[in-house]
Every structure is written in structure tokens, then in C-alpha cells.
Structure 1
Amino acid sequence: MTPVGPHPAVADTRRAVREALSDLPPHALILTACSGGADSLALAAALAFEAPRAGLRAGLLTVDHQLQPGSHTRATTVKALAESMGLTPAEILTVQVGKEGGPEAAARQARYTALDKAAERLGASAVLLGHTRDDQAETVLLGLARGSGPRSLSGMAARTGRYRRPLLHLPRQTTVAACRAQNLTPWDDPHNDDPRYTRVRVRRTVLPVLESELGPGVAEALARTAALAREDADALDEWAESAFQNCALSDIGASVKLMVAELEKVPAAVRKRVLRRAAIAAGCPSGALSATHVLAVDRLITHWRGQKAVDLPGGLSAVRRYGTLIIAISPIA
């Protein structure tokens, strides 16, 4: 009699994790972030299965944002489940969520800060995140709505530093099916149904309308667009870094000087990346530096009429003097 293999959804999640771990050295510690939802729960189960077979150690981190009644109880349940799967260490990371940037951004910042600190403390080689293809599609739509350009449209990367997203090519229905097949009961976060959150409105309203009006496969198409946009954005970023090195006269602390003549030689898409890179190098907060700021600085190159300095976030200014663009702390002497 032919042995019966795992459910197809379970096989898909295990295969995705196996591929994500393939380049790691023996005995490395891999952590997975788990909220208890279907996506991260399926990921945790796949890691628990695959890590020992690859000669790796595996643990789990769950973040208690303290934003809902019973959040600590939920975190304790996830921790106990992790230990039953053989995921050790299993830790609860309790965080204080601020208000800067809105509730979603503040929670995200607190979560990643906690994950970073835990990964450093435990010596983890990688941290797995349970984002799926549906999450990618939502991210692309949000980028479109903001008009943020190709980097935003490229969505989430499969790998960013220590973070890896093995399930990024799988639909959410696969993780739900994988949990069901393994008798795992996901936790349904009430925030995932709260229309006050932009991402929830995209998930519950915008994507279903697009699927209804344009036909099935919209999420998959958006994820594919993200992959293509990321390839283009990576190439442009590499070109911009080279251009920055060619035109930089100085890159020291809170003062960056660039040769205007060199900036004029590169295409607008590359030049604007160079200007953004220069502003951040001078001390401008990246999260506060908008496309409007960069465009205003770009006009000092493309539409020079002797105009005054451009104010930038972080108390910086950009000014053009004698063929040199200077970005520094205001006022520029």
C-alpha cells in the first residue's frame, strides 16, 4: 500500500520553509515570529518539522502588544504550543506601543524592535515571518494609493537582513488549510476585522471588489507585479549608489556636497534616488522624507533660477552654490 503523504497545503508550507533554510549552516538558530494567526501558526508548524531534519535549531517569538484584553493569555497559549512542537527557546516579548505614525505603524515599529533585540540576544541566524501572497497584494495596493513609486510597489522582500518570508508566494488559503489539516486552531485577531485600519479595508473591501469586477487572480497578479517592480527598483538603487559615489564631494556627518554637473548626467529616476540617499546621509529621517521633498531638491538641479534653500525634515536644508548641491543642518553658512 502506498504511504499517504502530508496534506498538500502542509507539504507546500514545509517545502517553502525548507527552501528558505537551505543556505544556513548546521546548528544555526532559526526563530519564527508567531501571533497565533493561521499564517504564522502554519509557518511555526512547518519550521518545527523541517529544522531538525536540516540540522538546525528552531525557536519561536510571540509579541504581546498589550492592545487588547487577554493579549497575555493569548501569548502564553502560543508559547505553550511552541514548546509542544519542540520549538525552543519560546519567548513572549511584551512591548509598549507608541502613537507615532498611527496605530498600525506604531505597533509595527514596536514589534520589529522587540524581534531585533531578541534575535541579537539569542544569536539567531534568521527570523521567519508569516506574510503570504495576500499580504503582498495588500501592500502593493497601499503603495499604489500613496503614489509612493516603484520601491513601494515592490512590496515586501522575501529576504531583508535577518528576516525571511518563506510563504510570500503562497495564498492565505494555503495556511488556513495547513492549520486545519494539522488540527491547529488559529487565533483570529479582532484587529483584522476592524475597518478603522486601512489594511483591513483593503483586505475586506477593495480586493474582493477587484476580484469581482476583474476576475479571479488579482492578488496573484499584484504579487507578480511586486516581484517585477523589485527587480527594477534594485537595479536603479544599484545605479544610484554608483552615481552617488561619482558625484559626492563630501559625505561627512551632517553635511553632504554633490557636484551638480554630475547629477545632470543621470536620468531623473536615478538622480532622485541619489538626492534621497544624500539627504538621509546628512541626517534626514528616512520616514519623514517624502517624494515632495525630493522633488523640491531636484528642482535645484533641473530648474535652477537662483532660488532659496529647500527645507527638509530633521532641521536640514538643501541649497545650490557655485555648481555644488549642499545638504546640511540649517542654516547653511
Structure 2
Amino acid sequence: MRYLLILLCFLLSPLNHALSLREDSPQQYVVQHGDSLWSIANKYLKNPWEWKSLWRANPNIQNPNRLYPGAVLILDYFQNQPYIRVLSNGTIKLSPRVRPRQADEAIPTIPLVDIRPFLDESLVLDEDVLTRAPYVVAFMGEHMLGGQGAQVYVKGLHPSTEMPPGGSIAYSIFRGGKNYIDPITNELLGFNANLVGYGELVAGGDPATLLLTSIRVGIKKMDKVLINNSPEFDFYFEPKSPARSVSGYIIEMPGGMPSGNSQVAVGGVIVINLGVTSGIEAGDVLGIYGKKRIIRDPKNPLIPINLPPERIGEALVFRPFTKTSFALVVRSTRAIYLMDRVTNP
């Protein structure tokens, strides 16, 4: 039976090339707290984006496509092809019974500490979404700004169509930032929006009334109001190569150095001019290439020589939008700059 299961896994798997297995790959590894899927893939593969070809889910365990602290990974071979199988995916022992791991206890794909501000505090909104988004029109008591505990009036919210049965809705309040423009075509790619506060519905109508439950800065008129986690995304995904050929550029470094000398390294977040319309998905790994260099021929100094772009790192997309994406730099050999190129790894 075990042989048949392994055979079936291989027949259904995307293995069609030799994997870049590291020579020092551990034969057995116990998943630790603080591990990420990327860090584990990096222990086994020179190219961690090949993880999906190495991984073999165990259908006999709960949540077979997730990994938990305590999971035991075994490196095995079938017809000379390596694969990873799981002996145990970890359990929490609560005497006198054992509680299975919950899905949200799985290790993340990449360290959440590096990307958390970009999961719920920053968005890229399309022009039509920004135009249609509900917005703050006034404050109770004729105040000029809204502080924590204040009530605000919001036009276009239509809570009756959004309210879950027997529940309430939490809203995020965003303020528009810079526009993202494609550096090659000058196309408007989207609008950066930054979180300024949270609110809960007090009364319906148009305008509806929100109670400000938490704020980062004072709420202003025209601030946009969206349901929490809108647009929705799932931050559990597997590192992989893009499904089709892509090529783009780094257009913003939100966490980089001050403007004019923007650069990031491993752990830095970048914005690229590729998104869902380009075929980009969460988990896609992109190679980063430095700008072309021009040198003088040492034999004939008057003759310029164009050197090919050098591969300087990789970035993993964790939140794609329509025409842009947030990506985390996961490897680099030198500083990464604006307008460095990104393409298939």
C-alpha cells in the first residue's frame, strides 16, 4: 500500500527535471519553532522554489500540506528521485488526550515579522476600487479630525448588504499615498493606501456611522473605509517558479533607505510592476538582476563593452495585486536598488 501511494504521488507530481538537491541535505529533520517553509526548503534545495517537486504530502495525517513544529521530515528516494515525506506532523499532548494541530498553527511560508506591516497595514488599490470605496464625510460633533472613541459618518458603506448573520463587521480605514506608475509604459498601476485606523458599525444608513476603535493618526475626511482583509488573501502558500515567463522591475522599496539612496537586502520588502494580470501568484519566486554595466575594453579603451546583467538575489511574492505585487527579498549577494530587474528564477 505504501509503495502504491508513493507511486501515485510521483505520477501526479510535476517532477520533470533533476532537482537541485543540496549535498548537505539532512536525512531527517524535526521542524522547529521559528522555521519557515522557505528556510526548510533552503536546507534541502539549492533552488528552494523547487519545493513543490520535492514535497510529498502524507494523506494519512491531518492538514497534509502544512508543516508544524515537531513534524519529522524524512528525505527518501523513489527510482533515484529524491522526495520529502512526513512521519509525524506534530501533536499537542494535553493529558489524557492528544489535540491535533490546527491549520493556523502551521509554520509560515516566510517569516511573518518581515512582512506583517504589508499584510494588513498597506494596500495597492486599483483606480476603480479607490473610486468606489466608501469614505469618511463628517465627524459627530463637527470635529475636524476623528480620534479613538469618536464616531464618524461614512458614505457608500451599505452595511446591510455586508453584515454576516448575527455578527458585526470590523472595518479598516486607509489613506491614499503615492501613485505607482510603470517606469517603462507610464501606465498607472495602482494607488498605495496606508492603514490609519479601525472602526465598527454603530448605525446603518447612508451615511452609516462608525465607532473608531483604534487609530494610528487622526482620521480625516475622504479617508477610505474597507472591510478588514479586503481584498482577501491567504498568506499560506508554497514557494514556486512563476507559471509563465515574466519580466519586470522594482518600482518601490517601502522599507528601504531614504529616497535617493533606496536599497534593500535580505528581509526587505519591494514593490514590483508585475501582478495578477501578468500571471503572478503568491509564492512565486523571482530572480533579481542588477543593472547592465558598461566598461571600457582594456585592450582598446575607446571601445565600450556591455556586460550582461548579473543575478544578485531572489524575491518571493507574498501579496499580489492587479498590476503590482509585494515581494520579500529572500536572498541577495549585494544591495538591491530601484529599477533592478525581476524575472523567472
Give the helix-richer structure, 1 or 2: 1
Under TM normalisation by the shorter chain, which class is it?
under 0.3
By percentage of residues, which structure has more strand?
2
Q: Structure 1 length as normaliser, TM-score?
A: 0.21
TM-score, length-scaled by structure 2: 0.20
Please identify the structure whose Cα radius of gyration is greater. Answer: 2
